[in-house]
Chain A
Amino acid sequence: MRAASRSDNVNFEDIRAGDRRALSRFLTLVENSRDVVAEELAELSRRADDHQIIGVTGPPGSGKSTLIAALTKLYREVGRTVAIVAVDPSSPFTGGALLGDRIRLKALAGDKGVFIRSMASRGSLGGLAWRTQDVVRVLAAAGFNIVIVETVGAGQTEVDIAGLSPTTVVVQAPGAGDDVQANKAGLLEIADILVVNKSDLPGAERAKNALKAMLDLGHPTKAKAQDQPIWVPPIVLTSAIEERGINDLAECIASQFSYMQKHGLLVAFQEAQLRAEFMHRLRETLQRRLFDTFTAEEFAGIIRRMVQERIEPQRAVDQLLQNVEFRRRK
């Protein structure tokens, strides 16, 4: 397997000039490494031109990939280049993954204005992979006008996408449940645009009405919580497979994006994103450094004692940490 090390020389000029091989190899470095490409990433981020990031999420089989294919086709017709990052789940048992989103994106093959990258979630539970943010950053810096991120099939709590894309499209299919389902916290709350896909199937109008009722009860908790101007998510009926409603969706995406720009919400979004990423990386780094201070035997020993002597897990943790020094708050 290819190593993620500096020996794989990254040439940004090649990436910026549209060298897809260089881009692809750099994405592997980003996906596989924690520190080595930090400087390169920072350099790339500074160079990212104007671009738009669109997140697409929704339950498995709701038609996310097919919808993305139809939307991408539309963007290509007006000359915009599109990169797609498609995340599918890794097995919690073997670490393996079946990444099948390309099947639905087949019609985009052969177009040099489109770049598709599949990612396995590798243990991340929020609907994305740990490195999706960085991969998006690289694709934006590579010059793609639009970067579309497809999450794993989402249930109710895989909401990390809302922190990554200023525009989040939540896709539902008819038959997803009643209006109480529609009022549950989580996935539907993060929608900037709600899509009822597969509207060629019976029940589409009913699904739309349930979502509308949900919005009428006072939806945008996200915006209210942050005391921001309120964007009420439009509900769009689409049939991705028949390519119906795609224009409407593209228009909603465009008007939501200009709304964000007009009210200065993009800047606020990016600040919140940096804060969240800082906290995430702080936790990750702390955990790694702390774990590195213990030997495998120490870990095994405390866990064995916990099981054999029936020590409470929290007490076992306290025992393990009792000799670790932390700086006191000043």
Chain B
Amino acid sequence: MKQFPIRILIAKPGLDGHDRGAKVIARGLRDAGMEVIYTGLRQSPQMIAEAALQEDVNIVGLSILSGSHMTLVPAIRAEMDAMDLASVPLVLGGILPDEDQRALLDGGVSAVFGPGAGLGEIVSTIEQLCARPADQTT
């Protein structure tokens, strides 16, 4: 049984003008054997959900540094759910206060990675979230 690479969308929502973090993660996930679709900067919730739909990704990773996560992330989750993508997990990287993290984890975000999170931890969390059924066709 051959496994196919995990397909992940890495997106930068909102008005951040800084995507070094997203690029480091995209590169790290590529080197971990994933197919990483990177959208670039300044994506609206609709654009991100639509890209996730068209690319049929297994998981979506967001990078947010702007502080607007409590507005943007629920909006992205809602857009994705409305497009029949409720089963696609959402993970988050950025600088978020603890209480916001808890609220987001309760509201449909599967994992949050703060400053200092190791790439190994991020990769293994993503792999677990995309845990693959055994009937993968070769």
Give Cα distance in the complex from A301 to B130, angstroms: 36
Interface size on B, residues (CB 8 A): 39
Question: Quick one: which of B31, B34, B58 contacts A2, CB cutoff 8 A?
Answer: B58
Q: Does A206 contact B (CB under 8 A)?
A: no
Q: Number of contacts between A and B (CB, 8 Å)?
A: 111
Q: Does A61 contact B (CB under 8 A)?
A: no
Flag if A99 contacts B137 (CB, 8 Å). Answer: no
Please indicate which of the listed interface residues A24, A31, A98, A115 has the most CB atoms of chain B within 10 Å of its own CB.
Answer: A98
Please name all residues of chain B whose beta carbon is closer than 8 Å to the beta carbon of A5 when the two chains form the complex: 135, 137
Flag if B137 contacts A32 (CB, 8 Å). Answer: yes
Give Cα distance in the complex from A20 to B54, angstroms: 7
Interface with B: A101-109, A155-163, A231-239, A306-314, which one? A101-109
B43-75 interface mask toward A, CB cutoff 8 Å, 1 = contact, 0 = none?
110110011011110100000000000000000
Flag if B37 contacts A109 (CB, 8 Å). Answer: no
Can you identify 20 A-B contacts, CB atoms within 8 angstroms?
Answer: A1-B130, A1-B133, A3-B137, A4-B137, A24-B56, A31-B4, A32-B136, A33-B138, A36-B137, A97-B5, A97-B34, A98-B27, A98-B30, A99-B36, A102-B40, A103-B39, A106-B39, A110-B47, A118-B35, A120-B5
User: A21-B53, A91-B30, A98-B38 provided; 18 other pairs, C-beta below 8 A?
Assistant: A3-B135, A4-B136, A24-B54, A24-B55, A25-B56, A90-B5, A90-B35, A91-B31, A96-B33, A96-B34, A97-B5, A98-B27, A103-B39, A106-B40, A106-B43, A109-B46, A115-B54, A118-B55
